[in-house]
A = this chain, B = another copy of it.
Amino acid sequence: MTRESMEWSVVGHDILRLDGPAKVRGAQRYLADMEFPGALHLALARSTHPHANILRVDTHAASGVPGVKAGFTGEDLLAVDGVRPCYGPAFRDQPILAFGKVRYAGEPIAAVAAESLEAAEEAAALIEAEYEELPHVQDPLEAARPGAPLLHDSLEPAGAFADLMALKGRPGTNICTHYKQRHGDAEKALAEADHVFEDTYTCPPVSHAHLEPHGTAACFEPGGRLIVHTTSQTPYFVRGDLAAIFGLALADVRVIVPPLGGSYGGKIYDKLEPLTCLMAKVTGRPVQLHLTREEVFYTSSRHGAATKIWTGIKDGKITARKVEVYYDAGTYAEIGPRIAQKTGSTAPGPYKFPNVSVDAFCVYTNKTPSGPLRGFGVPQLAIAYETHMNKAAAYLEKDPVALRREYVLEEGDLYSTGSPVTSIGLRACLDSVSRLMEKTSESRPAPNRGPAPTLEKHIARGRGIALAIKSVIAPSISNAIVELNSDGSAIVRSATVEMGQGATTVFAQIAAEELGLDVNKVRVTTPDTDQSPYDTLTAGSRSTYHMGNAIIGAARQVREKLLETASEALEIPSEELALREGRVFSRSLPERAMTIPEIFIKRFGAPGTTLTGEGTFQGHAVKADPETGQTPRMTEHWFAGASGAEVEVDTETGFVKVIRLISSADVGRAINPRHCIEQVQGAAAMTLGFTLFESMRIEDGRLVNGSFLEYPLTAFEDIPREFITDIVENPIESGPYGARGVGETGTIALKPAIVNAIHDAVGIWLDDMPITPEKVLRAMREATVAEPGKKTSGAEPGGESPK
């Protein structure tokens, strides 16, 4: 804890998660634990082809199963009056049920509603479909080429994100978005460079793998209101889209979200909601749909990406950085266009280069639709730009940390978009991770002092670091209501979704701090659009900053009312009063005080009353020029993080083990330091899987590992022996107590740190994730063949690694 945070009684302290006890005891009720009286169960039939015209979908046999109330196809959907058949946040490209054609293997083609789940599943299995197969495309680079099999004939803008329309890709291709950034003249600088590094880095689609599958329950009330319980990070977006799909007023759609069992971006925008509500409408009954694990793999994945990167060096300086990134949207664009635009804008990395060119594409392929996943596309870029920094360091024979210090963005610098960079903790993170790499090295046989006693001959050790930034989602808005009870307990109404990130606890801390309450007496409600005011979404590590600020605003309205009454009663000016531990007291004469219950009685003369405050916070950005990406304000603020990894590479098997992992994260201010560490470590552990073994494997256009038996996740045995997190506090003036988000900071720089460490260990550069033993062995063999006896030099902090 820093010195400043001692001023606060709740903020800055390691408060245990308020939702922890119920969760560890297994008592937390998730959506699947809820009962929806009278609700029909839905089961879905899915396409077996990656791309095909639908000739026939036959629900006849399915409808004959006892208990089945309705079998429903995409053709039936088109016949329903007053329902808009397609949805999507950027383009309305996704049908509620496929009609006309299917675009990926696993796409829903029909739904069955039945009195029991068993009947629904039995019936769904009886649905027959005939297809006319079409050529399909899986690779985003191939899909981006003219002449590739085309997934969508035209694109209907969704209207929500108007700025994305200016970036619409070329009609008649699979490119739905093309973001451009131009700063200086990268092409010219590359042409004039002494040396140009040019590489393509690829990341496959991976699964969010939230332990709780998606679920939605919906019913239309007698008055026509639509009530939806759903696992969603975006209750207000879902409300708006359902209103549009079904032609309802916003006030006639109520979206309720219980705590989620993980999400990571996988439960964002519309998922099961349009189909579930449609089935509620056509059956006139409440309905519920809960996915199986396999179906989760058919619902969302992280964008695979191919990142082409060029780094030009002239006269000992990096003079140019050019990036072309192809985000693999899968079948439907979802928020991919925003990733191409927003994350594309940070593709040059956290550095000052004189000449920059970025082209970021969002490309359709015949795969599960992609969505954001912890990092919003940044990790797919950082692997490229941070490996290239080490390549450049090697070429320039500089220490990689020193080279980064030369180019790293400092406070007040202009980003290559022309936006000033403010409150940026990049150097602090870089310093932190490099210091910790050194310090922790001292406690064991130094890697540059020869093999450790226990190190086998075939084990090579290496170390690497990396740095990355991410811009916060902007513009975005959070509103909150704080209701203080006369006993000093309070309710915070916020539409932020608790999905394990600890928002509930942090919000309670903020309200408790502002109002001088016992944090255990603050209850944060779960999102319910009938009770919590608007919040853009729970994603992008934005909640602590945005909702935190809104809660401060709301709490301060209440605080003012408390002080007003106390000031009148105590005859002390408000500004001389303080509020702590349930008491308002004079700063100079603390014994002149009133308790909160006393203030309520004074103000209202009645027990049990409430004081309400409401707060709004809006983060800003200015739309960029679509041709150059230039804007005076590209985001509200930044996240900075650095990772350091030490690996052991088994040169006989190619197996890579991360034995030490250091994460340095700029959290602005740690409202709950323990939470911050957990967030950073959780992100790092997850990213370890994406780096070393996770991949949704497609064969013949079909997913072949859609289960946790075949799709491995990071296990406890994969966690490094040393798993160090350094919370860097670089307060952001506009943040609540200086805090910024921390949910993704641990993920962004980890992959290149490992790639750099492997290079340090065995001299190979890897560019295709995940880093399987096969790829390591192949790369080592190729390196030996290409340059026998020579190892690409790589100077890591602490000097050369042992080989």
Chain A residues near B (Cβ < 8 Å): 18-19, 21-22, 25, 27-29, 34-35, 37-38, 159-160, 221-223, 225, 236-237, 239-240, 243, 249-252, 475-477, 479, 481, 483, 485-491, 493, 521-523, 525, 528, 530-531, 533-534, 536, 604-610, 612-614, 616, 618
Contacts and interface: CB of A to CB of B under 8 A. Distances in A.
Given A491-B251, A523-B252, A605 B530 contact: no
A533 B612 contact: yes
B609 A534 contact: yes
Contacts of A221: 22, 29
A451 to B, nearest CB: 53
A236 B606 CA distance: 12
Contacts of A19: 223
Contacts of A222: 21-22, 25, 27-29
10 contacts: A22-B221, A28-B222, A37-B37, A160-B608, A251-B485, A479-B612, A481-B614, A525-B531, A533-B612, A534-B609
A606 B28 contact: no
B534 A531 contact: no
Contacts of A530: 491, 493, 523, 525, 531
Given A19-B223, A27-B222, A29-B222, A240 B489 contact: no
A536 B487 CA distance: 16
Contacts of A18: 223
How many copies the complex holds: the figure is 2
Contact of A606 (B481, B536, B605, B609): B536
Contact of A534 (B243, B476, B608): B608
A341 to B, nearest CB: 15
B243 A475 contact: no
Contact of A493 (B27, B531, B536, B609): B531
Contacts of A159: 607
A605 B531 contact: no
A488 B240 CA distance: 13
Contacts of A476: 606
A250 B525 contact: no
6 shortest A-B CB distances, which residue pairs? A27-B222, A531-B531, A35-B37, A240-B608, A251-B489, A249-B489
Contacts of A34: 37
Given A21-B223, A491-B530, A616 B612 contact: yes
B523 A483 contact: no
Contacts of A491: 251, 530
Given A21-B223, A37-B35, A608 B251 contact: no
Contacts of A236: 608-609
Given A35-B37, A222-B22, A531-B528, A250 B608 contact: yes
Nearest to A19: B223
A22 B531 contact: no
Contacts of A607: 159-160, 240
B479 A481 contact: no
Contacts of A27: 222-223
A161 to B, nearest CB: 9
Contacts of A28: 222
A522 B251 contact: yes
Given A160-B606, A479-B612, A534-B608, 15 more contacts: A21-B223, A22-B223, A25-B222, A27-B222, A35-B37, A243-B487, A249-B488, A251-B490, A252-B489, A252-B523, A479-B610, A491-B530, A525-B530, A530-B531, A533-B612
Contacts of A475: 604-606
B485 A610 contact: no
A609 B521 contact: no
